[in-house]
Amino acid sequence: MGRVDGRTVIVTGGARGMGAAFAGRLVAEGASVVITDVLAEEGEAVAAELGSSAAFLPHDVTDEAAWIEVVARAEALFGPVSGLVNNAGIVHVDPIERLAEADYRRVIDVNQVGVFLGMKSVAPSMRRAGGGSIVNISSIGGIISFGNILGYVASKWAVRGMTKAAAQEFGAWGIRVNSVHPGVVITEMTADSERSNAMFHDQPLARPGTPEELAALVLFLVSAESGYSTGSEFVADGGFTTH
């Protein structure tokens, strides 16, 4: 038996990188997964590779109506949703004095408002499922701070707090909410980043993480194996935040 047999899980930002790894691991362990992203061609390819237990839906996580449609389509395809991985995220690099308001707001809209809308939209379906697990992908930038990415840091700290607030509200319905805080993980977003490539050399595990390692953690949190964990931070950063 798989570790998440019979579960319907939505993974946002699932067209590549960590999101694609999350989707693949969840399907391998028995879940039916709805992959969403603005990258339609890549998302369709991931879903096709995963077979009949996966489907792709184009999705702007900043749009509440789009969220309502995604949840309805997921239910129609696979049944009530019992897992949500809020993974979609962006970063914008600029010092504060040069950071345009529009760029700041765009990061907040995707990384923070998107998580709020996801939790809000999926809650009724999870109640119909008899409970569920929400995994919000934050960052070590939601525990410590970095310069020149103010919007990213602000949004990821917000996700950490929103996770705890939602855990308090949703616990009565058997819905758990936890946050994951990756350090440097080599994906399409970070592969060419000088900052990311320099960060991990002085941490206790002097290497970057892999999407597959984060997928193992997400699988644990979606599964019943983490059944007594809610409102908590799960850090996977090679020890970076021990400094």
Domain contains 201: yes
- Percent of the chain predicted with pLDDT > 70: 96
pLDDT, one tens digit per residue, over 54-100 is: 999 999 999 999 999 999 999 999 999 999 999 999 999 999 999 99
DSSP 8-state class, residue 79: S
φ/ψ of 175, rounded to 5, equals -105, 120
Among 151, 133, 129, 128, residue whose Cα is nearest residue 141 = 151
Alpha-carbon gap, residue 139 to 209, rounded angstroms: 13
One-letter amino acid of 209: G
Beta strands in 21-113 (DSSP E): 32-37, 54-58, 83-86
pLDDT of res. 200: 87
Where does 171-229 have alpha helices with state H? 194-199, 211-222
pLDDT of res. 195: 62
Active site residues: 152
One-letter amino acid of 181: H
Domain contains 243: no
pLDDT, one tens digit per residue, over 29-53 is: 999 999 999 999 999 999 999 999 9
Q: Match 């999350």 to its residue by tokens.
A: 22
pLDDT of res. 1: 79
Domain span holding position 138: 8-235
Q: Match 């995604």 to its residue by tokens.
A: 70
Domain contains 241: no
- Are residues 222 and 31 in contact, defined by beta-carbon separation less than 8 angstroms? yes
Domain contains 196: yes
pLDDT, one tens digit per residue, over 226-235 is: 999 999 999 9
Given a cut of 60, is residue 9 above it in pLDDT? yes
DSSP 8-state class, residue 80: S
Average the pLDDT over 113-140 and give the result: 98
CATH number of the domain residue 45 falls in:
3.40.50.720
pLDDT of res. 98: 98
Domain count, the chain: 1
Domain contains 240: no
Average the pLDDT over 122-131 and give the result: 98
Given a cut of 70, is residue 15 above it in pLDDT? yes
pLDDT, one tens digit per residue, over 157-200 is: 999 999 999 999 999 999 999 999 999 999 865 555 566 667 88
Alpha-carbon gap, residue 37 to 23, rounded angstroms: 12
At 230, which helix (H) or strand (E)?
none
One-letter amino acid of 40: A
Domain contains 242: no
- Compute CA distances 193 → 56, 144, 153, 190, 199, whole Å: 29, 19, 17, 5, 10
Alpha-carbon gap, residue 127 to 131, rounded angstroms: 5
pLDDT of res. 194: 60
Domain contains 71: yes
Q: Token pair for residue 71? A: 């949840």
Collapsing DSSP states into helix, strand and coil, what is residue 145?
coil
Q: Token pair for residue 141? A: 């930038």
Given a cut of 80, is residue 123 above it in pLDDT? yes
Beta strands in the chain (DSSP E): 8-12, 32-37, 54-58, 83-86, 132-137, 175-182, 233-236
pLDDT of res. 191: 52
